[in-house]
Copies of this chain bind each other. A is one copy, B any other.
Amino acid sequence: MGLTIGVDIGGTKVLGGVVDTAGDVLVQTRRDTPAQDPGETADRIIEVIKELAAGHEVQAVGIGAAGWVDATRSVVQFAPNLAWRNEPLRDKIQQASGLPTVVENDGNAAAWAEFRFGAAHDADESMVLYTVGTGIGGGIIIGGRLIRGANGVAGEVGHTMMVPDGHPCGCGRKGCLEQYTSGNALVRFAKADAKARPGAAALLLGLAGGDPDAIVGPAVTEAARLGDEVAVGAFAQVGHWLGVGFADMVQTLDPQVIVVGGGVIDAGDLLLAPARASYREQLAQRGQLPVAEIRAALMGNLAGVVGAADLARL
C-alpha cells in the first residue's frame, strides 16, 4: 500500500498530512478545532482529508483522536476536551471521504510512529511512550504490536496511582502520575514553591510580572535554564515522579525502550536528567540486569499524524 492520510485531532487543532511508507510527511495542513460541536469537528476533518486527497493518490485514512476509542477502532467513546460521546467517527469519515478509515487514540498513534520511524525504530519488540504535555498520554507496543486493550483503552500510563489520597485527577482518581508529572504539575509545583520561597524564585517571578499565580509553563522552562532555584526544583520534582513511573513500567512490562515526548520534553535534560536519576535509583537492586533505555522522542508534533497514517495500513 502506498500513501495514506493521517489526521491528528487535539483540543485546539486538526492537523493532517499525506504520509508515505517510510513515515515521511509529503504535505500537511491544519485547521482550528471547533471543540464544542461534534458535527463541525467531523466537517473540519473531512475538509482536511479532501484537501489532502486532492493532491495525492491515497489509499486509506487514519485518525488519531484525543479520547477513548473502542476496540473496533470505530467509535470515540469519550473525549475529555472534545464534545464526543460515543461518536461513530469512522463511519462518518469513511462515508464522506470514500476512503477506508480507522480511528486510533492519539497517544497510541504517536507511540506507533516513534516505534516504527522515531526514537525506537531500532526496537523490534516493545516500547512504551510517555507524552508529557499539559497532561500525560502515551502508548504501549508489545510483540511488535500496538496494545489497545480489551476495551480499547490500554496505555493510559498517566493514570496509575502514585500518591495515596493525592492530588485529585480529571480521570476521577486521586494521586495519578499525571498530577505529578505533566506541564500542569510543573506549573503547580513552581507556583507553590514560589509563594513559599519568593527569594529563591527571583528570575521566575520576574518572568511572571512578580505574580506567582501568573507563572506559566514556558516561563518555568526559561527560568530553569537560567538557573532559577525554584524552577529547577519544579523540574526535579516532575522528573523524579516520571522516573518512578518508568521503574513501575519496567517491573510490569520490561520493554526494550522507553520514549519521552510531548511539549515538556523541549526542556531536555532539565526533565530527563532527574527522571533518569530517579529511574536508576528505583531500580537499584535490579541494576544487575539490563533495563530499558530512556530516550527523547524524535517525531515532534507530527508523531500523531504519521502514526495514524501508518496504522491505517495495518
- Report the minimum CB–CB distance from A205 to chain B (whole Å): 14
Interface residues on A, range: 35 or more
Contact call A247/B161, Cβ cutoff below 8 A: yes
Q: How far is the CA of A160 from the CA of B169 in the complex (A)?
A: 20
Q: Name the distance in Å between A52's Cβ and chain B's nearest Cβ.
A: 32
CA distance in complex: A163, B163 (Å)? 6
Q: Whole-angstrom distance between the alpha carbons of A159 and B150 in the complex?
A: 24
The complex places the Cα of A4 from the Cα of B95 at a distance, in Å, of 53
CB of A225 closer than 8 Å to a CB of B: no
Task: Bits for A188-205, please: 1 = Cβ < 8 Å to B, else 0.
Answer: 000011011100000000
Q: Is A291 touching B252 in the complex (CB atoms < 8 A)?
A: no
Q: Answer whether A160 and B68 are a contact pair too, CB < 8 Å, given A286-B172, A289-B153, A290-B151.
A: no
Q: How far is the CB of A267 from chain B (nearest CB, A)?
A: 21
Residues of B with C-beta under 8 A to A156: 251-252
Stoichiometry, as copies per complex, reads: 4
Q: Is the Cβ of A282 less than 8 Å from the Cβ of B160? A: no
In whole angstroms, how far apart are the Cα atoms of A170 and B168 in the complex? 23
Contact yes or no, B213 A150, CB < 8 A? no
Taking a contact as CB atoms under 8 Å apart, the answer to whether B164 and A252 are in contact is no
- Bound Cα distance from A77 to B192, whole angstroms: 25
Mask: chain A, 163-198; 1 = CB below 8 Å from B; 0 = not: 111011111110000000000000000001101110
Q: Does A254 contact B (CB under 8 A)?
A: yes
Given the interface pairs A163-B164, A247-B173, the reply to whether A147 lies near B142 with Cβ below 8 Å is yes
Q: Is A63 an interface residue (CB 8 A)?
A: no
- Nearest CB to that of A255 among chain B residues? B150
Residue of B nearest to A128 (CB): B252
Residues of B within 8 A of A291 (CB): 151
Q: Determine if A145 is an interface residue (Cβ-Cβ < 8 Å).
A: yes
- The distance in angstroms between the C-alpha atoms of A286 and B162, with both chains bound, is 18
Do A160 and B286 touch (CB < 8 A)? no
Contact of A169 among B162, B196, B255 (CB under 8 A): B196
A68 to B70, CA, bound (A): 36
A33 at the interface (CB under 8 A from B): no
* CB-CB nearest in chain B for A196: B168
On whether the beta carbons of A78 and B288 are closer than 8 Å, the reply is yes
> Contact: B140 with A143, CB < 8 Å?
no
Assess A255 versus B164: contact at CB under 8 Å? Given A172-B285, A197-B172, A289-B68: no
- Does residue A306 face the partner (Cβ distance < 8 Å to B)? no
Q: How far is the CB of A84 from chain B (nearest CB, A)?
A: 13
Residues of B within 8 A of A171 (CB): 285-286
- A192 to B179 CA separation, bound complex (whole angstroms): 10
Given the complex of chains A and B, what is the CA–CA distance between A68 and B290 in angstroms? 12
* Residues in B neighbouring A161, C-beta threshold 8 A: 162, 244, 247-248, 282
Q: List 5 A-B contacts (CB under 8 A).
A: A150-B292, A151-B290, A151-B291, A152-B254, A162-B164
Taking Cβ atoms with an 8 Å cutoff, the residues of A that contact B are 68, 77-78, 125-126, 140, 142-143, 145, 147-157, 159-165, 167-173, 192-193, 195-197, 213, 244, 247-249, 251-256, 282-286, 288-292
